[in-house]
Chain A
Amino acid sequence: MRVLIVEDERKLAQVLTAALEAEHYDVVAAPTGEDGFFRANAEAFDLVVLDLMLPGRGGLEILRALRQRHIQTPVLILTARDGVDDRVLGLDLGADDYLVKPFAVAELLARIRALLRRGRPSDVLRLKAADLELDVVTRRASRGDRPLDLTAREFELLEYLLRHQGHLVSREMLAREVWREPRRATPIDNVIDVQMTRLRRKVDADGSSRLIHTVRGVGFVLREGEP
């Protein structure tokens, strides 16, 4: 999978490159709008991560030019302004998703995975990790032979963690995807933490190896072994 990152902020470009390379993507970084447009036009990419505020040729302009040339590579835009106008304009011009800075790298990776998966429905209805199993249809979950008695919210939370197993999920992602809160406010953060503690008590109960891990300052991850 080849990903083009168009970002003028050197440090951010380096971090994003490192993060994507760690996930085994083939990454090309373009430091200017011109360079980004030239590469996106000339080479084949599976995805473009595009900053909107670029010196010279702005992100929106590049996006418009690409779409006019019928280059349909998925584009994820990065913006520091969360005004509705920018977002709508970007999506209208053919961007596939957007993230507002400062975003969590975990979230960027999740969005990229989702964009690359698009068009190929991978709706797995039975999810598994070690001896933890979850059936989306019958809404039953079990750890080994032990059935888990989960509330509706706990079930959704576990399903989300399982669908992202091995990958970090941030509190923002959980607030939006599991609690369907468009904004991450203080109350919801506390709710997430309490809910996670309870879920962990049920899933990682007595003797079983730990599956749900907290990564301090970032979020949570469901994974066998060390986080």
Chain B
Amino acid sequence: MRWWSTASIRLRLTAQYALVLSLMLIVYAAATYVAVRHEFYERLEDEARHGVDTSMRDLEVDAQLREILVVLAGGLPLVVALAGAGGYMLARRALAPIDDLASEARRITADRLHDRLSVPNDKDEIGRLAAVINDTFARLESSFAQLRRFTADASHELRTPLAVIRGIGEVGLRETRTPAEYKDAIGSMLEEVDRLTRLVDTLLRLSYGDAGTIRLSRGPLDLGQLTREVTSSLAILAEERNQRLAVDAADGVSVTADRLVLREAIANVVDNAIKYSPQASTIDVRVRPGNGRASVSVADQGSGIAPEHRERIFDRFFRVDEGRSRDAGGAGLGLAIARWAVEVNGGRISVEPGAKGGSIFRIVLPLAAPPPGSQHDHAIHGSGGGES
């Protein structure tokens, strides 16, 4: 049976078709023979009844029947062979577009991912197949583009501090300088080392996240309480900019999440709002339950995010303003970390334009039963709610 599994579809189709046809023809021929034979003998009996001498006719009929049998049996292979050849050609015609598709697809490589298969007729099976393959190529192309962008950005972000360190070192050594100048140079190098260290930490953490090797310790937690904790620790940054950080958190909004990871997501979003909002503006932070979900929304009065940037704002290294300096904008990983941190906790993060300008960042998580230790304490403790 080995050849069967390795033979082409065309061959297999033809063989199956020929087999079925032969069986049908054998049955048909057998039936015909039996019917003719029956008819002949009936006629003989008829003639005998009318007093005709049939002794000679008997032999004649036998000879005729034998002839018919030979024609039927002998013609069978011929008909099957002809039909098989026809079937083979038909199968070839039907399957030719698949071969074309395969050779077209083979031409599309990583470098030519923008090419697509031609779809002659999108209504038939081949057309639908081509459309599905094209769709796959489109997704591949976009993830390739993303990967390429990430690699380019990562190498830029990693190499810039290295270039700075090297430059300061080389210039510092070129001539003898005062101790104060040396101190300044070394301090400046250390600042770059610090930046590089944090960048490597963050990238490693994101890549552990991608590989799924981060172990989360998820438990019930009060989202309002966590949000207030974050805003009170960052309040000092808003104060410096004369901004008002208004927190309106509903009580008893409970979610199941890794506290530290989720905390970082909220902190990054709030920090982002503080950084990009004008002086003396208000940042509204709201925690609300609803529809089986809990949400944290952070509304700022910044300049808003253009629609074409809304999708990419959570991408690694993405900065709305490409020219923004590293000092002011960081490495552009804050929101990427936030997205990762929300998603591993089973939530979603999105951004939408605010009603009065600015943006609203929204973190939505599935609502959980209230954790022990909240105001629903008594109800749960009796039924065995554990320590959190």
Q: Which of B294-321 contact A (CB under 8 A)?
A: none
Other than the given A185-B264, A186-B330, A191-B233, 12 more pairs (CB < 8 A) read A82-B204, A179-B233, A184-B198, A185-B267, A186-B271, A187-B270, A187-B271, A191-B234, A191-B236, A194-B240, A216-B188, A217-B194
Using Cβ atoms and an 8 Å threshold, which residues of chain B touch A188?
A: 233, 267
A84-B215, A187-B234, A191-B234 are contacts. A216–B271 as well, Cβ < 8 Å?
no
| B260/A182 in contact, CB under 8 A | yes
Using Cβ atoms and an 8 Å threshold, which residues of chain B touch A190?
A: 237, 271
Interface string of B183-206 (1 = CB under 8 A from A): 110111111011001100000100
Binding site for B on A (CB under 8 A): 82-84, 102, 179, 182-188, 190-191, 194-195, 198, 215-218
Using Cβ atoms and an 8 Å threshold, which residues of chain A touch B183?
A: 216
Q: What are 12 contact pairs spanning A and B, CB under 8 A?
A: A182-B260, A186-B198, A186-B330, A187-B268, A190-B271, A194-B240, A216-B183, A216-B188, A217-B186, A217-B188, A217-B189, A217-B193
- Docked CA distance A217–B189 (Å): 7
Using Cβ atoms and an 8 Å threshold, which residues of chain B touch A83?
A: 213
A25 to nearest B CB, angstroms?
Answer: 23
Most buried by B among A186, A195, A218: A186
Which listed residue (A179, A191, A216) contacts B187, Cβ 8 A? Answer: A216
- Docked CA distance A182–B186 (Å): 28
| B184/A216 in contact, CB under 8 A | yes
- Docked CA distance A102–B196 (Å): 10
Interface string of B249-268 (1 = CB under 8 A from A): 00000000000100010011
B204 to nearest A CB, angstroms?
Answer: 8
- Docked CA distance A66–B29 (Å): 93
| A187/B267 in contact, CB under 8 A | yes
A131 to nearest B CB, angstroms?
Answer: 27
A84-B215, A183-B260, A187-B271 are contacts. A216–B236 as well, Cβ < 8 Å?
no
Query: Which single residue of chain A is at the shortest CB-CB distance from B196?
Result: A102
- Docked CA distance A191–B184 (Å): 24
Most buried by B among A183, A184, A187, A218: A187
Which listed residue (B187, B194, B240, B270) contacts A215, Cβ 8 A? Answer: B187
- Docked CA distance A82–B214 (Å): 11
- Docked CA distance A139–B190 (Å): 35
Query: Which single residue of chain B is at the shortest CB-CB distance from A189?
Result: B198
Query: Which single residue of chain A is at the shortest CB-CB distance from B194?
Result: A217
B334 within 8 A of A: yes
Using Cβ atoms and an 8 Å threshold, which residues of chain B touch A215?
A: 187
A190 to nearest B CB, angstroms?
Answer: 6
Nearest 7 A/B pairs, CB to CB:
A217-B190, A216-B187, A187-B271, A217-B187, A217-B191, A187-B267, A186-B330
| B334/A186 in contact, CB under 8 A | yes
| A191/B237 in contact, CB under 8 A | yes
| A216/B268 in contact, CB under 8 A | no
- Docked CA distance A83–B197 (Å): 16
A84-B215, A194-B237, A195-B236 are contacts. A183–B264 as well, Cβ < 8 Å?
yes
Using Cβ atoms and an 8 Å threshold, which residues of chain B touch A217?
A: 186-191, 193-194
Using Cβ atoms and an 8 Å threshold, which residues of chain B touch A218?
A: 187, 190
A174 to nearest B CB, angstroms?
Answer: 13
Using Cβ atoms and an 8 Å threshold, which residues of chain B touch A194?
A: 236-237, 240
Which listed residue (A84, A185, A216) contacts B190, Cβ 8 A? Answer: A216
- Docked CA distance A185–B269 (Å): 12
Using Cβ atoms and an 8 Å threshold, which residues of chain B touch A186?
A: 198, 268, 271, 330, 334
Which listed residue (A102, A185, A187) contacts B197, Cβ 8 A? Answer: A102
B243 to nearest A CB, angstroms?
Answer: 13
- Docked CA distance A96–B213 (Å): 26
Query: Which single residue of chain B is at the shortest CB-CB distance from A190?
Result: B237
Using Cβ atoms and an 8 Å threshold, which residues of chain B touch A102?
A: 193, 197
- Docked CA distance A153–B213 (Å): 35
B211 to nearest A CB, angstroms?
Answer: 12
- Docked CA distance A183–B262 (Å): 13
- Docked CA distance A190–B271 (Å): 10
B262 to nearest A CB, angstroms?
Answer: 13
A116 to nearest B CB, angstroms?
Answer: 26
Using Cβ atoms and an 8 Å threshold, which residues of chain A touch B186?
A: 217
- Docked CA distance A191–B236 (Å): 7
Q: Which of B151-201 contact A (CB under 8 A)?
A: 183-184, 186-191, 193-194, 197-198
- Docked CA distance A216–B183 (Å): 9
- Docked CA distance A62–B10 (Å): 67
- Docked CA distance A120–B66 (Å): 119
Interface string of B262-297 (1 = CB under 8 A from A): 001001101100000000000000000000000000
B194 to nearest A CB, angstroms?
Answer: 6
Query: Which single residue of chain A is at the shortest CB-CB distance from B189?
Result: A217
